[in-house]
């Protein structure tokens, strides 16, 4: 019996690719190039499954042109805002993702950005690196203390819960806004806010961990920033679409915000060049899940979903 043919659209971990080659007829991308809509449409006639990343866009127009041979899209990501799930469901194409396995790594990056923005790490690093550190005084490089402060979390899913756990290690009081309240054993003492406005009012630090949906796109804007305490710090390791970047920039320039820590942007790759003028914005190139352990786990989770699908079973992470 012929093995199902699978296209892996980007270069994944060596362990993931080795397992895929063992179990499937695999088309790899050793150049790690980004695929266009035309590439996706063409390859859909040549494979039974696609294992893509968030860099491959399955919008409604692309989905409409997919070949009937394609039966499953097993995403190498948790977020699926690059997939039109309604259109894919209408075509009868199974879609899966990789939850759980990247929560720790992403929360680590969120805490790194929170600490870095609070303690002026980008500014200090550049000063030492450029040989410009030539003095000291009690007023030198004074930042914002993290310990004992209030952390607001928007989106108390898997990553948000790990972020809350890390924050408790700094004696932070955790507040959160979520679609539904968590049971006490998951809340772990965090304070639930059904109304976003009341969360914002008590957030010395605000960390975003919700998906990008029509309801959440632009959730951080001039109005919501105005409701934060003066000199608050915003951290985003979720999706760039959550933040109105012009409003964030204006709040940095006015001093309303003391800083920001960003791992994702409206334009990726590339980010927002206007942010680079401000040392109190700590930026990373969307590397929240970029650890060797997590990359293996994500790849294996995607392959687990393919294994189940082609064995005639229900994939554990099926979305449609």
Half-sphere exposure of 112 (CA within 13 A, CB side): 17
- Among residues 19, 150, 239, 301, which one is catalytic? 239
Q: Which SS3 state, helix, strand or coil, does residue 8 take?
A: strand
Distances (CA, A) of 296 to 20, 30, 116, 293: 12, 17, 28, 5
- Among residues 19, 119, 209, 286, which one is catalytic? 286
- Selection from 18, 82, 15 nearest residue 52 by Cα: 82
Residue ranges of E strands in the chain: 5-8, 25-27, 49-51, 72-74, 94-96, 150-154, 173-177, 191-192, 205-208, 232-236, 257-262, 281-283
Query: Known catalytic residue: 268?
Result: yes
32, 11 contact by CB (below 8 A): yes
Name the token pair of 301: 């989770």
What is the biggest distance separating any 2 CA atoms in the chain, rounded to whole angstroms?
Answer: 74
229, 201 contact by CB (below 8 A): yes
- Among residues 21, 46, 268, 314, which one is catalytic? 268
Distance of alpha carbon 74 from the chain centroid: 18
Question: Would you please indicate which residues are annotated as catalytic (active-site) residues?
Answer: 239, 268, 286
């Amino acid at each position: 019996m012929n093995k199902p043919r699978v296209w892996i659209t980007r270069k994944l971990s060596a362990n993931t690719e080795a397992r895929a080659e063992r179990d499937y007829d695999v088309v790899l991308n050793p150049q790690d190039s980004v695929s266009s809509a035309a590439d996706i449409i063409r390859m859909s006639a040549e494979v039974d499954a696609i294992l893509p990343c968030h860099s491959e866009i399955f919008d409604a127009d692309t989905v409409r042109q997919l070949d009937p041979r394609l039966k499953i899209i097993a995403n190498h990501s948790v977020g699926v805002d690059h997939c039109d799930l309604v259109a894919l469901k209408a075509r009868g194409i199974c879609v899966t993702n990789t939850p759980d396995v990247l929560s720790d790594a992403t929360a680590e990056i969120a805490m790194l950005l929170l600490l870095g923005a609070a303690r002026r790490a980008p500014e200090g690093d550049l000063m030492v690196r450029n040989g410009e550190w030539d003095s000291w005084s009690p007023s030198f490089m004074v930042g914002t203390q993290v310990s004992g402060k209030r952390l607001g979390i928007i989106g108390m899913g898997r990553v948000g819960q790990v972020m809350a756990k890390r924050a408790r290690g700094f004696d932070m009081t955790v507040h959160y806004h979520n679609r539904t309240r968590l049971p006490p054993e998951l809340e772990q003492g965090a304070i639930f806010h059904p109304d976003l406005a009341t969360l914002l009012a008590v957030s010395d630090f605000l960390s975003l961990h919700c998906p990008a949906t029509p309801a959440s796109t632009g959730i951080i804007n001039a109005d919501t920033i105005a409701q934060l305490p003066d000199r608050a710090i915003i951290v985003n390791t979720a999706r760039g679409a959550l933040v109105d970047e012009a409003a964030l920039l204006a709040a940095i320039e006015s001093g309303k915000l003391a800083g920001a820590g960003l791992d994702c942007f409206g334009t990726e790759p590339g980010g927002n060049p206007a942010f680079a003028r401000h040392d109190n914005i700590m930026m990373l190139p969307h590397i929240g899940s970029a650890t060797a352990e997590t990359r293996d786990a994500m790849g294996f989770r995607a392959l687990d979903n393919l294994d189940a699908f082609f064995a005639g079973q229900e994939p554990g992470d099926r979305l449609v």
